[in-house]
Chains A and B, each alone.
Chain A
Amino acid sequence: MSDTTTNTAEKLTTSDGKPLKASLAKALRRQKMRALLLIAPLLLFVLISFAAPIVDMLFRSVQNEIVPETLPRTVTVLESWDESSGEIPSDVVFSALRDDLVIAAERKRHTRLGSRLNYEMTGMSSLFRKTGRRVDDFGEIFTEQFENLNEAWVEPATWVSLMASEDWVAAQSKWAAAGDDAVPQPAFVLSEAAKQALPRTADIYSGFADVIRTEDGDSPTQEEPWNPVYAALYDDLIENPDAASSYSGAMAELLLTAAEAVPSFEALTAREEFIDADEDWGSLAVWQTLDRYSGRYTDGYYLAALDAQRTADGIEMVPEGQRIYLLLFMRTLILSVVITCSCLLLGYPVAFLLSHLPLRSANLLMILVLLPFWTSLLVRTSAWKVLLQQQGVINDMLVFIGLVSDDGRLALINNATGTVIAMTHILLPFMILPLYSVMKTISPTYVRAAKSLGATDWTAFWRIYFRSLCRGSARVLFWSSSCRSATTSRPNLSAVPPVSSSRTGSPTTSRVP
């Protein structure tokens, strides 16, 4: 606000002594607030029940969280693997996968992950299902050897005192003593000593404790750890022989004897066990796929929608026989163009006639347009089904007239012909009504004036009538876009499936979730 206006405004005051300018601004603000408050309920309603779902779906189309969330350890160690090296990843990756997979299998998440990756590579689903069934046996060989060494290794209590923090042990025994099921179990906490000395064992054991608590509702104090926990312990002790001596917590003695014994253990690497469970784990392609789709976001679904896929050499089209989406896009496009043209062809004369007839007769004829407009989509679809089928009314009539023989009844339904006929009928009112409302506004005197000035019929139509029509076509465009939504919404009863409708039995459609 500049000084001069402030001065003027200060001179003008309302009856209660406030400056006029401020008073007006306040009134305007109040008016705006009132308008917004009136709009707010619906805006919120639309945002929550309509916009949020759409945004959520858009987000889902790039989302790939299931892979990093189900296999967090594998994804981290896989980063250092070079997919173009031509070799499958090292044992570290396999051990991480073993830990991830056993937790996922106990939580029953591995099948979902398998289905997700199956979109990218067929066979992944069964690979994960099959391995998931066997992964809790991985490391069994170590369990037995630790047990032979000392029976205490299969005691749940041994593991608790080895791994758990003292606070947790105290909280857990308090919870167990209370015996109240309504109170949730305290979440498992690792002891610092265990984390320091046996990082991998501690990691998988805490995963185990979580699963036992949340999935089974049991206490880790009552359960013997899974076999992979023993395998992790073996890995830890082999990798760092001094770990046991540096470990200061409970059971240090037991650990020390184990550390001395492990070098003589009969060993089986995680990699061997995986390949033994399913030899596909030795395939480079499986690991490349896993590596490629290990990020939190993916463009895989979009590529699939364009019949493309990501391979080691970059983006490529899928094999000829599996392409379907581009074909469906094309088919939808062609059908829309044909239907739009036929609607225009049939709608234009009717709209023209209606807008040039006297109002009374135009209103009467308008009922013939409005009745189909108001009639249920499914009613009209049923009607066309009745009319067009092989034993239907139209074929009966044609046979009766003698145009076609009884054996040569025309196939009018479940193909492009049926779609175009029925869709034209359904969308025709959407073409006629807006065209009519625009034509109503074009004064017939313009065309007459053009003709009196010497224009031919064609020039008068093209330069005067058509131009005016185009000027009013903003509304037509608006309507036609809502027609489009009607188009895609149409159940494909008499239709060749457009992109939107499902094709059961086609292998590739199952790629889009």
Chain B
Amino acid sequence: MTFNISSHWMNKLKSYKLLLSLLLCMILWLINLSLGSVSIPVDHLLQRLLGIPFPSDSWEIIVMEYRLPKSLTAILAGIGLTISGLQMQTFFRNPLAGPYVLGISSGAGLGVALLSMAGSAFGWQFLAGSGNYWSAIIAASLGSIAVLVMMGLAAWKVRDSMTLLIVGLMFGSAASSLITLLAYFSAAEELKMFTIWSMGNLGNTGWEKLGLLSGAVLLGLVPALASVKAYNAMLLGENYAVSMGINFQRLRWSMIVSTGILTGSITAFCGPIAFIGIAVPHLTRLLFKTNNHTLLFPAAALLGILVLLVCDSISQLPGMATSLPINAVTTAFGAPLIIWLIMRRNFSEEF
């Protein structure tokens, strides 16, 4: 009886935490919209939501054309990367797994590297239009899809998940070595363009691209949500999961497709965003004290949004003419936080 009461309260507590996270997300979203080189007061933002126009036209342009799409991109990327990382960590039963372990970011990187640097390396001219961001998106998508197809072939051939993990890492290394080669032969300006792409950027998605990105993220979330129960069963390991009637092969394909679409599309539009996908699932487990994916999925998505919005707000703090690269912020502010959380308690036991 005492247990029933305490479990009831625990569940209540967890729903409150979820609600609190949602509230924090909304507050941070407003703060994110208000901060930047031009500071826009929150009360004006709220009034704008109610239909009262901004006192200045430039504010309207700043918010509608730049800050709002950027914050929405941060929200989508926060959800997508975190849910990918969570799926990978549970599927591979490996706390170091993240959205990029299957080599998808390296594939996208290779695509962009070919686009931006192959010109001077091979004397190709047909890719000269690399200043156009659409072509970078297409190149990154093609790169991710290529890696995804190769991973699919590997997954079809080998049944063991550890082998799959190693194959993914090797694909990533191979792609990185090709990028290094291209970088070695490319001109300084192209190299800088690629380097900036690889630092991540949430601000390059206009409304049109945002529509595509949100479609892709929604599509990628479907197989993840359909496998919530299977991921819970996977907590006991593959053999127990199979003994409970989980179709392991189906789960594996759903994991590959879901994380492929999510990380592939986000990397294509925003570049490889470091840290979020690996760290936020751990953060969620520590803060919500649960391994249950019915709770972890929404909680991790909310915390992913939260963390990425905070990082984005930091990157555009007032007083700075330009914004910092998002990866510098996610890693610099996120890594110490995670180290602190992990050192606090017996981390591997919690995982």
A and B co-occur in one complex? no
Q: Which residues of B contact A (CB under 8 A)?
A: none
Q: Which residues of A contact B (CB under 8 A)?
A: none
